[in-house]
Amino acid sequence: MSISLNAGAQSKKFNMGKWVEIQTALLQELNRSYVDSLPVDRIERLGVDAMLAGLDPYTVYIPAEENEDLQMLVHKTYGGIGAVIYKPDVNGHVVINEPYKGSPAEKYGLVCGDEIMAIDGETVVGLTSQQCSDKMKGDPNTKVVFTVKKIRSGEVVDITIVREKIKLPDVEFAQMIDKETGYILQTGFADGVAEDVRNAVIRLKKEGMKTLVLDLRGNGGGLLNEAADIVSIFLPKGSLVVTAKGKDPKSNYVIKTDKDPVDTYLPLIVLVDGGSASASEIVAGSLQDMDRATIMGWRTVGKGLVQSIRPLPYGGELKVTTAKYYTPSGRCVQAIDYSARDENGRVKEIPDSLTSEFKTAHGRIVRDGGGIAPDVVLTDKEYSRITFALVAYGIFEDYALNYVRAHESIPAVEEFHFSDADYEEFIEFAKTKDFDHRSSAKTLFDTMKQELEKDGLVEAMSSELKALEDAINMEKEEFLRLKKDEIIPFIEEEIVVRYYFQEAGIKVRLRYDDALREALRSERIPSRW
């Protein structure tokens, strides 16, 4: 048996050496023979990316020049002024779209609609948005000078701003939403988020919280240790959170809660959806397996893989999948086929025959192979194609900036509502913009007509096609008016963040959050662990 194993190891070693040798020989021959100069860096990067793509979507090469992006992912920090910028025209100015609350941009008086004409004396005309963003960033405590055209006065002034370390919060909102219900919106799992969640739970309990909603919808995950520390808020110290199993013995480990809980009895709802992945699934899966929370929403992504960072030559790094993780019941949530998604991007239902049964602490059956299935499935809100188009083409964003230019102030968030007259103004604005306003029915009709043209059937069916097209065709203005109730929440959110920062936008979102209201009406809210 030992001879067989040794032979297998030798075979793998030989194959790896063979392909390294072939690749080196290929590059040398191309360098000698290829008709043009050989773009070695570009083709090598393409080769590396293609090789890793053949493994899984999460194993990627990160060259030294992209390390800043990795640090942003892990720590959610960067050196800069703390503002979202907008540059609709490469030959135009940079527009301050949204300064962050408490940021240097806010402290030094930049507001939404201010136009940056030059950075450190260099005009921004001709620069891309990314090039401008790179110039605005820099080490904390360094200075950057902006030549700014102020939105209200039109005055052109030079403003010197001292950069700071900007940390984007993963707990974007933590407030009481009624007399007894606390709500925490968590959008990531960067370094330090568990402490923020813990502090928020303690504060909300003091404010009278009797039930907590932890919203992980759209949360794509992050650091595994942060997920474990969040679970520790709600489970006794020493509770199993997750088990990792990989090829390398160093990738095999068990994580248990190692901090004292805040409350092991507080009724807890965890909201998830088709954008909840990785660390979000660890939190939801662990709390579900231990019967500590009711998971509500929709099936999660199904990312049951653990990545580690490995150093490479010349400052590069490899983010590599090193293990699969298993929730306390023993299940792995990794989707059997992570490419199998429905039209909304969610994991498709997996037949029970392809999955295995596991049991929670109280004996409920849960299954593996396709994300976390919620205990309570909530009603899915669907949006029309025109709403997606308004987002994709930046119409809402353009209109919000236009609105800010025309309105120096607005009422408090709780009192701000878009009126019928306001919406008519939006329609007039949107009518002038170029975007694909076709309905889903019209897009299907256009596709069908193209297929009929290929088959030579359009002329024979011309009268039927014209009648159908006339029936489903809708002018831009008519369609916008029809979808008014669906569109207004997006407009209100875009507007309020420009006067009252991101927290205001979340308050507007909660105003229209039917899924949250449905969750709070559910009879499945747990009373005890």
Bridge partners, 122 (sequence order): 119
Q: What is the helix (H) or strand (E) element at residue 448, kind and residue range?
A: helix 440-454
**Distance in angstroms (rounded) separating the CA atoms of residues 296 and 524:** 9
Nearest CA to 159 among 125, 86, 97, 109?
109
- 494 contacts 391 by C-beta, under 8 angstroms: no
- 474 contacts 377 by C-beta, under 8 angstroms: no
Phi/psi for 331 (5° steps) reads -90, 150
Q: How far is CA 405 from the centre of its chain?
A: 30
Residue whose entry in the numeric block shows the structure tokens 């790094």: 317
**Distance in angstroms (rounded) separating the CA atoms of residues 221 and 189:** 5
The number of residues in the chain equals 529
Q: What is the helix (H) or strand (E) element at residue 390, kind and residue range?
A: helix 385-392
Which residues participate in catalysis according to the annotation? Answer: 278, 289, 303
Q: What is the helix (H) or strand (E) element at residue 122, kind and residue range?
A: strand 122-123
Helix residue spans in 93-138 (DSSP H)? 104-107, 129-136
* β pairing state of 317-326 and 60-62: antiparallel
Residues whose CB falls within 8 Å of the CB of residue 146, separated by 6 or more in sequence, listed in order = 110, 116, 118, 119, 158, 159, 160, 161
- 319 contacts 56 by C-beta, under 8 angstroms: no
CA distances from 299 to 275, 288, 372, 446 (A): 9, 13, 6, 33
Residues whose CB falls within 8 Å of the CB of residue 510, separated by 6 or more in sequence, listed in order = 177, 183, 516
Q: How many CB atoms lie within 10 A of CB 347?
A: 25
Compute the 3-state secondary structure of the chain and give helix, strand, coil in percent, each to the nearest 5.
40, 20, 40
**Distance in angstroms (rounded) separating the CA atoms of residues 514 and 518:** 6
CA distances from 246 to 52, 109, 330, 418, 500 (A): 18, 52, 15, 54, 47
**Distance in angstroms (rounded) separating the CA atoms of residues 371 and 288:** 12
